[in-house]
Amino acid sequence: MDFGEGTGGSIIDLAQRLYGTRDISSVLKGIEGHFPVSTPAAAPRKAAATPPAFEELRVSPLRNTVLLDYLAKRGIPSDIALGECVEVHYRTRGKWYFGIGFRNRKGGLEIRNPYFKGSTSPKDITHLRHGAGGNGKATALVFEGFMDYLSYLTLKQGKPVPDCVVLNSVGNLPGALDVLKGYGHVCCFLDNDDAGRKTTEEIRRRCGSVTDKAVHYLPHKDLNEFLQHRLKKAEEPCAELKQGSG
Instruction: For residue range 176-201, list pLDDT tens digits in order.
Output: 999 999 999 999 999 999 999 999 99
CB-hemisphere CA count at 13 Å for 226? 22
Q: Where are the domains of the chain?
A: 56-119, 126-229
Distance CA 112, CA 103 (A): 12
Q: What is the pLDDT of residue 20?
A: 58
CATH architecture of 126-229: 3-Layer(aba) Sandwich (3.40)
Q: What is the pLDDT of residue 208?
A: 84
What three-state secondary structure class fits 139? strand
Lowest-confidence region among 115-119, 135-139, 154-158, 228-232: 135-139
* pTM over 0.85, yes/no: no
Please list, in sequence order, all residues whose beta carbon lies within 8 angstroms of the beta carbon of residue 107, skipping any fewer than 6 positions away.
122
Distance CA 40, CA 32 (A): 16
Mean pLDDT of the chain: 84
What three-state secondary structure class fits 7? coil
Tens-place pLDDT, residues 64-88: 999 999 999 999 999 999 999 999 9
Distance CA 126, CA 82 (A): 17
User: Cα dist. 192→80, 188, 203, 223 in Å?
Assistant: 25, 11, 15, 9
| pLDDT at residue 243 tops 80 | no
Lowest-confidence region among 13-17, 130-134, 158-162: 13-17
